[in-house]
Structure 1
Amino acid sequence: MIDTDRITGAARELGGKVQGGIGDFVGSDRDSLEGRMREAQGRGEALYGQAKDAVRHATGEVADLAENVYAQAGDSVRQGRNAVSRQVEEAPLASLLIAGLVGYGLAVLIHGRR
């Protein structure tokens, strides 16, 4: 989607070039100067529109990237959960022992040894 500032800026720039060219051709300093000013204003407006388009495009790219990262993170969590479930099913006693040791370690870290 092209920003309307780009279109109006390009039109104003073209109009300014024409007006400046006609002013130069007929020897009218006022028309020549006015045309150059309109041309510069149109160029600035077109650049502003390009910048808005670039920001809009970059925002879309970042949103797509964030969506992909979120989906991949969800896949990783599901794979990890499935791996832990399989391990618990295969060796429930060892899993219980590991969970107890992890709990004990966390309690020591939180409360410290006295």
Structure 2
Amino acid sequence: MMDKDRIAGAAKDFAGKAEGVVGNMTGDAKTQAEGRAREAAGAVQNLYGQAKDAVSDATDAAVNYAKDAYDNRGDTIRGGRKAVAQTVQENPLGALLIAGGIGFALALMMTRPPRRPPQRWRYYG
């Protein structure tokens, strides 16, 4: 399933290239610059859509893997490393985003100062 950002980004990228070609043919620097800007915006939007697709695919793969692991507990333990390695090879961007998210969450948990109980005031008098 393609994300709408990927489709819109590809369309902007194509339109920007076309506008750049027209600017080159006519010698219009403003049209060339606008075409390059539109092309860059389209490429960024396309990459954003690809990242969203990768995260969605990785999430679906993780849910399916968990269901399979529960159903086939013994076989899954042996094949778990192979399945994870294959998922990472097939979808490296999604794996990178998930690993980065987990690392970010762990870093937040480890760097947060511990909770201290409220200070109790004592009267010495």
Quickly name the TM-score band, shorter chain normalised: 0.5 to 0.7
Task: Quote the Cα distance in structure 2 between the aligned partners of 1:12 and 1:39.
Answer: 6
Matches within 5 A, 1:37-76: 37-73=37-73
The alignment-based identity, stated in percent, is 45
Give the match for residue 4 of structure 1: 4
1:7-41 deviation per Cα after TM superposition (whole angstroms, max 9, x unaligned): 00000000000001101110110000000000000
More helix by share: 1
Tell me how far apart the structure 1 counterparts of residues 15 and 2 of structure 2 sit (CA, whole Å): 20
Equivalent position SS for 2:7? helix
TM-score (norm. length: structure 2): 0.57
Which consecutive aligned stretches of 4+ in structure 1 deviate over 6 angstroms post-superposition? none
Q: Deviations over 1:66-107 (max 9, x none)?
A: 11112234xxxxxxxxxxxxxxxxxxxxxxxxxxxxxxxxxx
Question: Unmatched 5+ residue regions in structure 1?
Answer: 74-114
Residue type matched to 2:57 in 1? Answer: H
- Aligned mates of 2:49, 2:37 — CA distance in 1: 18
Match runs of 1:9-20 below 5 Å: 9-20=9-20
Aligned residues: 74
Letter in 1 for 2:5: D
**For the residues of structure 2 that align with 1:13 and 1:35, how far apart are their CA atoms?**
9
Normalised TM-score (structure 1): 0.62
C-alpha distance in 2 between matches for 1:52 and 1:44:
12
Structure 2 gap segments, 5+ residues each: 74-125
